[in-house]
Structure formats: C-alpha cells, structure tokens
Amino acid sequence: MLDGVLAGSSGLRTAILLLGLPLLVGCGRPTSLGDGVWGSLGNTRGVRSGPVEMAEVSQEEWTVSRERLARLREHQPKRPYVERVRLSIVEPHTRTRYEARGAVAVDPGRAARMIMVGPAGTTALDLWVTKERFRFAVPGIKLEKRGGTDPNEMRGLPVGFLRWWFLSPLGGRLLMGRSTPGESAWVLKDGPAIVTVRTDGQHFFALRREGERLEGIEWLGRLLVPSAGSRGHYIEGRLGLRVDIVVEEVLDTAPDPAAFEDPDAPSEGTTL
C-alpha cells in the first residue's frame, strides 16, 4: 500500500490524503476486532461506517476517536526496553539489498540507541537520538552527523522519523480524528511535523511530513507494543529508500542506562 502511495504521488498533500485519511473522506466498513482496544469502547452506535463527507464529524464519532487514541497511548511502554531487530535495506538507485542485524534500546519519550551490524561483523549503523539531539553514524563510509531539531541538520537522514517512531509514535496534538466500528484515523501535530495514523489496532499505516520530507511506515504489531514477530515496511518518499524491519526478540532485561548517553561522551562502556 505504501509503495503505491509514495511512488508516483504528485504531491505530499495528495499522498497524505491517499494513505492516511481514507477514513476522513469515506471508506467501507472494515472487519471489527471485537475485543481489546476497540471492544473495550463498547458504544460505537452512531459512528457511520459508510461513505462520509469530510466536514461531517459528529460529537460521538469525535469522542470515540479521542478515546481510541487515548487507549492506544495507555498501552505504549513506559519503561526502557531492548529489541533485537533485523533490517533489509533496498538502495533506491541500484536496487541492491543490504542485510543487517542489531539491537534498539528505547527509553520512551526520552532517548533511543540503535546499533546495526552487517554480514561482515562490522558496525553498519550507529544511531543515538533524544528529543533535542542526535548522532547518526555509518562507519563504513565514514559518515557521521550530529545535530538537534533543525531540519537542515537532518537533511537526507531519517532522523526526524526515527525520533518520532522510537520515542513517541502516537505523540502530538490531535487535529482530526474519524472512526468506523473497526478502524480509526488521526491527524497529529508533532512539533513541526504532521503525522497521519490509520489503524484497526493491529495493522498500522502512518505518514509523517516535515517540510518537504515525506516518510511512511506500514507496521503489523498489536497496539504498537514491542513484541517478537512484529514487522514493518518503511519508505522514504523523495529518494525511495525502503527498509523492511522484523523484531526478532524483546529482551527481558532492561538496557544499560549508559546506552542513552551521548556516545561521544559516555560515562562508561555502552551495552544495549
């Protein structure tokens, strides 16, 4: 689905409407989950499941949309955790595929550190990101960039997206929400970015636009809770970089706090 939206789109606004807001401009009734986050809402009477007009948002539908978003946010992890992940990266110009394995340590809302290792056992990517700062390094090509929140400092890098996805994927101020009995879509204002999320509670589609940069992810994983077997497909809209992600394991032990410190000035050795 993301491929069709981001490839060949005539504009960023068009892409956001095509993928992120099918509920906002009308859609058929999806299959209801009947339990969990949706079933717990109980009362969805009056939430129309057929075609609707953009401007027609009833108070009841708006309430349901806000409650669903709040319940999803409640399920998000509050404590630091570590995932073992596998990446498959497709370089857009040559279509060459690269494989890497590694770990992601996340302290929700605060910081994240990702270290990926290539087939030869060398570090393929080392990312450290907080709400205010980042360090992005690819040792194999001697690339290292540091910066803060200025989009110009992140130009050409997926730092803004990764900062959002790791630290607060459902964060931001709710601008609009629509719901059917089994599915919801929201438009969120997250700092300088506009994020559109559509989900049935297990299958997520998200687009993030910041300036002229458009990125999307399709994710299969219940309630966005870290779990083995969750997987996703990321696409960068301008160059067409594609990354497949698989979560192989979520560790039982918490990450070393040093993992979230600036890697160029750690207090001790860093262990994820």
Q: Where are the domains of the chain?
A: 59-253
Q: Which of these ranges, 16-20, 125-129, 159-163, has the smallest mean pLDDT?
A: 16-20
Cα–Cα dist 201/184, whole Å: 9
pLDDT tens figures, 111-153? 999 999 998 899 999 999 999 999 999 998 899 999 999 988 9
What pLDDT shows up at residue 124?
Answer: 93
Mean pLDDT of the chain: 82
Catalogue the long-range contacts made by 38-45 (C-beta closer than 8 Å, 24 or more residues apart). 38/68, 38/181, 38/182, 38/200, 38/201, 40/71, 41/67, 41/68, 41/71, 44/179, 44/181
Region 169-187: mean pLDDT is 94
Residue 51 has pLDDT above 50, yes or no: no
Q: Which 3 state secondary structure label does DSSP give 164?
A: helix
pLDDT of amino acid 205: 96
- Which of 47-56, 82-91, 123-132, 253-262 has the weakest average pLDDT? 47-56
Under CATH, which number does the domain 59-253 receive? 2.50.20.10
Of 26-30, 52-56, 185-189, the poorest mean pLDDT is in: 26-30
pLDDT tens digits along 210-266:
988 899 999 999 889 999 999 999 998 888 889 999 999 999 999 999 999 999 875
From CA 97, how far away is CA 105, in angstroms rounded? 25
Please state the length of the chain. Answer: 272
CA-to-CA distance for 47 and 41, rounded, in angstroms? 12
Q: Give long-range contacts, CB 8 A cutoff, 24+ apart: 238-241.
A: 238/212, 238/213, 238/214, 239/92, 240/6, 240/7, 240/92, 241/89, 241/90, 241/91, 241/92, 241/158
